[in-house]
Amino acid sequence: MSDGSLAIETGGLTKRFGGHAAVQEVDLSVPRGSVFGFLGPNGSGKTTTIRMLLGLISASSGSATVLGESMPMGLRSVLPKVGALVEGPGFYPFLSGTANLRRLDSADRRAPSATRTARVESALDRVGLSGVGRKKVKAYSLGMKQRLGLANALLMPRDLLVLDEPTNGLDPQGTREVRSLVSSLAAEGTTVFVSSHLLAEIEQMCTHAAIMSAGRLVAQGTLEELRRVGEPGIRLITPDAAAAVSALAGLGLLATIEHGSAESTVVSPLGAAVDPDAIVPALVAAGVRVRAFAVERPSLEDRFVALTGEGFDVAQ
């Protein structure tokens, strides 16, 4: 029985293509009302997982529940409640943005024709395309097509919005607008599931996240829970690096020196037994001149690299 507090829940979800397992034993839990970031390098199984969740491909084994319905059996009742932008939007290039949305909306049996014009105009306005709705899509930039895909997902009220790389092709202003749009949708009660390779965007946009690596789910939770797993450290800027290392050793901290021009940066893991508030007084008592001091928590990027062994794009 599915947990009613979850918008998406999977158990042992697996997809094989021949002898290759693209997704292996994934147990995903997406809370209702969350903005959930789905992270992982290219080829990690993110899009394959999304396609199984939406009933676009069948799973080899395991289960998937979306909005309380088992998939793909619940496809007919679930899909009208889900807006999706997966693997880039596809539109008729010789039709205008408005005409494309009207055609797509008319294909939805539950979409009332009487309010179609108003809903199309509202969706275009919400993604910042009101001024170019009459232009043919062939004249749209990649970012404009991405916005149009978002508009299509927003034509009807949705309980769940699934977005695959929603900021692809957008300039910084467009990226901020999408982030604001996602926040407003979440405030209205929509669960937003965002697959992205832009870690900085996930950190600013999401409340929860999951990390995929080589087809497996290696971590999930709130952003704070994911960061908290790593070990915190200290960073000190001082012209007295050697004395600082000695003073920190007296506190049980093993510090290293990163040389600068006039001053050096001293870094050290922060042991659980050491009170951070006692460090600066101990340094000052030892005659160390402290120019700057900070306790640094691991970033989501640090956690990602530790789990996958791969780098991550953090900016466009």
Residue 144's CB is within 10 A of a number of other CB atoms, namely 20
Q: Alpha-carbon distance 174 to 26, whole Å?
A: 33
The SS3 call for residue 96 is strand
Mean pLDDT across 156-166: 89
239: exposed, middle or buried (Cβ count in 10 Å: 0-12, 13-18, 19+): middle
Q: Alpha-carbon distance 209 to 6, whole Å?
A: 14
Highest mean pLDDT of the ranges 54-63, 226-235, 259-268: 54-63
Mean pLDDT across 294-301: 76
Residue 51's CB is within 10 A of a number of other CB atoms, namely 18
pLDDT of 7-39, one tens digit each? 999 999 999 998 899 999 999 999 999 999 998
Mean pLDDT across 99-121: 90
At residue 14, the pLDDT reads 96
- Written as one letter, the residue type at 122 is S
Q: Are strands 69-71 and 61-66 parallel, antiparallel or unpaired?
A: antiparallel
Mean pLDDT across 170-183: 82
At residue 1, the pLDDT reads 42
Check whether 131 has a pLDDT greater than 60.
yes
pLDDT of 247-282, one tens digit each? 988 888 888 888 765 666 777 767 667 888 889 999
Mean pLDDT across 221-235: 79
Q: Alpha-carbon distance 197 to 163, whole Å?
A: 12
At residue 3, the pLDDT reads 58
At residue 94, the pLDDT reads 95
Q: Alpha-carbon distance 291 to 240, whole Å?
A: 10
E-strand spans in the chain? 6-17, 20-26, 29-31, 35-39, 61-66, 69-71, 82-85, 160-164, 191-196, 208-213, 216-222, 233-238, 256-259, 264-269, 292-296
At residue 308, the pLDDT reads 65
Place of tokens 């600013």: 204
Q: In 190-225, which positions are buried (b, 16+ CB within 10 angstroms) versus exposed (e)?
A: bbbbbbbbbbbbbbebbebbbbbbbbbbbbbeebee
Closest of 149, 83, 74, 71 to residue 111, by C-alpha? 83
Average pLDDT, the chain: 85
Model confidence, pTM: 0.75
Check whether 302 has a pLDDT greater than 80.
no
Indicate the pLDDT class of residue 314, thresholds 50, 70 and 90. very low
CB half-sphere exposure, 229, CA atoms < 13 A: 16
Q: Alpha-carbon distance 130 to 111, whole Å?
A: 21
Cα torsion for 98, 132, 170, 193, to the nearest 10°?
A: -30
Indicate the pLDDT class of residue 313, thresholds 50, 70 and 90. very low
Domains of the chain: 6-228 (3.40.50.300), 233-297 (3.30.70)
Q: Which two tokens stand for residue 299?
A: 């970033």
Q: Alpha-carbon distance 300 to 74, whole Å?
A: 35
Q: Alpha-carbon distance 276 to 17, whole Å?
A: 51
Check whether 189 has a pLDDT greater than 50.
yes
Residues of the chain with pLDDT > 90, as a percent, come to 39
